[in-house]
Amino acid sequence: MTAKDQYKVHKEPFYQQQTNEVTLYEAAYAARLPVMIKGPTGCGKSRFVEYMAWKLNKPLITVACNEDMTASDLVGRYVLEANGTRWLDGPLTTAARIGAICYLDEIVEARQDTTVVIHPLTDHRRTLPLDKKGELLEAHPDFQMVISYNPGYQNLMKDLKQSTKQRFTAFEFDYPDAQLETSIVAKETGTDEALAAKLVKIGTTARNLKGHGLDEGISTRLLVYAATLIKGGVEPRDACRMSLVRPITDDADIRDTLDHAIDAIFA
């Protein structure tokens, strides 16, 4: 198996298009423009990127960003072995070499001095300086950079610099409308649409509380979790409390409000 094949998405991921994002992404990839995807937790950002990699038949290398990630974690480093040292490419370097889509998930979690290393890959240069190795790597013609983050978690310390943002084209994702989300939950889990519609109704109730005691609403991902548990034989109200309420809040009043909504919908 070649390096490219190792990172290919071999099975079609389920993705339900909301508007014309698939066509727009294809246009961005055709021009090899970097892409930024903004949207709340669990709304389908990562699934969309995975689906597009499958549709375009391109390898995908995903990096889950975190505050401890260094530039060396992205680019690579020398490692000590029995016979001396050996250079080991990081995921960003690997993607640039083989012509993969490099997806940096939740990029605002990474330190700003780390994200600066992507700049030369996201403009006309399309190069990656490997300073420790003394190499200037020219990106493969198929290489593309994709990043994502949740704008709801932005603050003064965790935000992208304008010098980074303005290197990207961008998509604004949100949770689907009720009808589409019902269809997504039903198709993803194999449950009937009547059950999916009830779960979506609970999700909508929670999202209306965002900013009024909740930092974030119930995601489509959590709705899928609830439907999966119910299909597996868990009592619906228990599955909803376990999947939709307890993960998102520790506030007793908010919890009781959502529990009452679940009882009313599944009465």
- Measured in whole angstroms, how far is the alpha carbon of residue 254 from the centre of its chain? 27
- Write out pLDDT tens, residues 163-215: 899 999 999 999 999 999 999 999 999 999 999 999 999 999 999 998 888 88
Work out the pLDDT band at 267, boundaries 50, 70, 90: confident
Which ranges in the chain belong to alpha helices (H)? 3-6, 21-30, 45-56, 71-75, 91-98, 112-115, 162-165, 178-189, 193-207, 220-231, 236-240, 252-265
The 3-state DSSP composition of the chain as helix, strand, coil percent (nearest 5) reads 45, 15, 35
pLDDT of residue 105: 96
Identify any residues that bridge with 78 across adjacent strands, giving them in sequence order: 87
Among 107, 118, 216, 108, CA closest to 156: 108
| DSSP H or E segment with residue 165 | helix 162-165
Residue 6's CB: how many other CB atoms inside 10 A?
12
- Write out pLDDT tens, residues 225-254: 999 999 999 999 999 999 999 999 999 999
Q: Average pLDDT, whole number, for the chain?
A: 93
CATH number of 3-172: 3.40.50.300
- Token look-up 């119930």 returns 218
pLDDT of residue 155: 53
pLDDT of residue 81: 84
Whole-structure pTM over 0.85, yes or no?
yes
Q: List all residues 6 or more positions away from 115 whose beta carbon is below 8 Å from its beta carbon.
A: 104, 107, 160, 161, 164
